[in-house]
Structure 1
Amino acid sequence: MSRIAILTPDPADQSYARDWPVILKRVSDALSATGAEVTPEPWTAHVEDGAGLAGYDLVLPLVVWGYHRDHARWMQACASWAAAGVAIANPARVLSWNSDKAYLRELADAGIAIPPTVFADRVDAAAVDEALARFGAPVIAKPTVSGGAWKTLKLTASDDLSAAPDGAAMIQPYLSAIEDGELSLLYFGGRLSHAVLKRPAAGDFRIQTQFGGDHVFVAEPPAEAVALAGAALAAVPEPLLYARVDMVRDPALGWLLMELELIEPDFYLVHDPAAGAGFARAVSERLA
């Protein structure tokens, strides 16, 4: 019997205590088809030394919610897991690279279409003014190390910046296309599994459920979106067990990559017609 660990949040972090066990159960139920023994492990218990994870046949960092608020330790953990030879998927190098949205600049340099972006050392008046001059108002500012729309703001020239994120950030034009929804394509073992459209609540721009967003199944994602997802995934120089590709279609610019989620994406298995069978298959292939 294979032993699989699923990494979970720090037990002391109660921010997501009501929600992450639901995601853990969905993934664990999907993996039951492989006959594996699944064990939850807090990622924060294995930061300095990866030896405690080295005994597992596979480690999946699928519920490490909150790592963005402890990013230095996350980077240390990824290095520890790589040094200990932990069988982790996605690979530890991918987990560290994908944890900072500066990776989008690398993908853009590789020819992947992303929204026009100002990468700034901090969100201050000068950076906002530069973005407003380039894009018009409003703009969206977010930390490059973030998750779940954490510290993400919609700004105009007159807005108070006291709540702006600290440190490196990205500032983009507000894309009204987000009001029609953000398309997510889910890939397991390099194969497209299913697609979901995530829509914000009326009057909001954040598509997360905690802000009133909702998700609906998409039976046939557009071919252009699938092509963009394929190009983005091909630009990652590491083998991937799973991926979620988030994008929007701008009327003027076409399909744009918003995020390449390779750490702890929600797979939206509740909308997966195969109920996670594709993920279980990819895991079985990885274990083999």
Structure 2
Amino acid sequence: MTEIAILTPDPADAAHTTLWPKVLARLQRALDQAGIRAAPTPWTAHVDDAAGLRGFACVLPLLAWGYHFDHARWLRACSAWQREGIALANPAEVLAWNSDKRYLRELAARGVAIPATTCTDALRQDVIERMFDETGAGELIVKPAISGGAWKTVRVGRGDTVDPVDGTTMLVQPYLPTIETEGETSLLYFAGRLSHVVNKRPVPGEFRVQEEFGGVYRVLDTPPAGAVALAEQVLAAIDAPLLYARIDVVPDADGRWLLMEAELIEPDFYLGSDPAQGAAFARALRASLDQGVAA
């Protein structure tokens, strides 16, 4: 059986100690069918010395939750893994790039449709008011450029007072009410091929679609054509050898699909909603290993 490594959270982060083993167990059931055994190891154990990762056929950061709490160390680790030629999927340079949501502006410059987005290192009330004026939005979303799981993401209405933030890059975007009526659609790609599509909707009174906030998930047998077209445009714009990608999109009020996130580090694959329970991912990884792409 081929052994790979899956990077897990910092052991000092008590918030994840009970959940990641359950997620790994579900993933391992899919990998078993492809003759692959996953060995968990904290990403924080391999920041400056990657020797402990060299013996694995492939290293996947699928459970490296919480990296955004120590982003400088994450970037240092990515640099070390790239420099030392660790067999990472996805590539180390992609993991570094994708960890800062300012990548959305880069993709927009390559023609990808995103919500109107302002980035600021000095969040002030005037920035918020200017965004309201420029977009005509009824509400805004404010979140750190380096975050995960809706961490420190807030919804702001006209007239609301925003606490100033210095020294942290913040993203300001219009709130899309369609998140409540149409939901967010996640498209899961393995080795460039669409595996499954999941629609996520918030519970009434909530805007966040994550499960911990009560989000309701359902698999779509027939994904919207516009969502698929945008997701494939995103993958083409990224232009990197990706073993896996989750592309999150939402339609605006006019039905135009917009990219919310391209999750390339530790996305939830929604295997609980996947009719094949992760078989497509296991096949893609097996093929990559057999072809020597990840080795």
Please say whether Structure 1 and Structure 2 have the same fold, judged by a TM-score greater than 0.5: yes
> What residue is the counterpart of 1:113 in the other structure?
113
> What residue is the counterpart of 2:148 in the other structure?
147
Q: Deviations over 1:185-232 (max 9, x none)?
A: 000111100010111110111001111112111111011110100000
1:235 counterpart SS class: helix
User: How many angstroms does 1:17 deviate by?
Assistant: 2.4
Distance 1:3 1:165 in 2: 44
> What residue is the counterpart of 1:257 in the other structure?
259
2:188 counterpart SS class: strand
* 1:1-288 paired onto structure 2 within 5 Å: 1-135=1-135, 136-162=137-163, 167-180=168-181, 181-252=183-254, 254-288=256-290
Instruction: Report the TM-score, using the length of structure 1 for normalisation.
Output: 0.96
Give the fraction of aligned pairs with identical amino acids, expressed as a percent.
Answer: 54
Q: Deviations over 1:101-146 (max 9, x none)?
A: 1100010000001011112123221221221111233110011111
Distance 2:67 2:159 in 1: 32
Question: Could you say what the CA RMSD is over the residues aligned between the two structures, in angstroms?
Answer: 1.4
User: How many angstroms does 1:60 deviate by?
Assistant: 0.6
Q: Deviations over 1:224-265 (max 9, x none)?
A: 110100000011131000000000011226100100000000
User: How many angstroms does 1:164 deviate by?
Assistant: 5.8
Instruction: Report the TM-score, using the length of structure 2 for normalisation.
Output: 0.94
Change (3 A) 1:60 1:268: same
Distance 2:166 2:199 in 1: 27
**Contact in 2 for aligned 1:53/1:86 (Cα 8 Å):** yes
Unmatched 5+ stretches in structure 2: 291-295
**Contact in 2 for aligned 1:132/1:156 (Cα 8 Å):** no
> What residue is the counterpart of 2:293 in the other structure?
none
Distance 2:234 2:166 in 1: 27
Distance 1:190 1:237 in 2: 11
**Contact in 2 for aligned 1:140/1:173 (Cα 8 Å):** yes
Distance 2:203 2:176 in 1: 15
Unmatched 5+ stretches in structure 1: none
2:163 counterpart SS class: coil
Distance 1:97 1:10 in 2: 20
Change (3 A) 1:122 1:29: farther
**Contact in 1 for aligned 2:124/2:162 (Cα 8 Å):** yes
**Contact in 2 for aligned 1:123/1:166 (Cα 8 Å):** no
Q: Tell me the amino acid that sits aligned with residue 234 of structure 1.
A: A
Distance 2:25 2:223 in 1: 27
1:270 counterpart SS class: coil
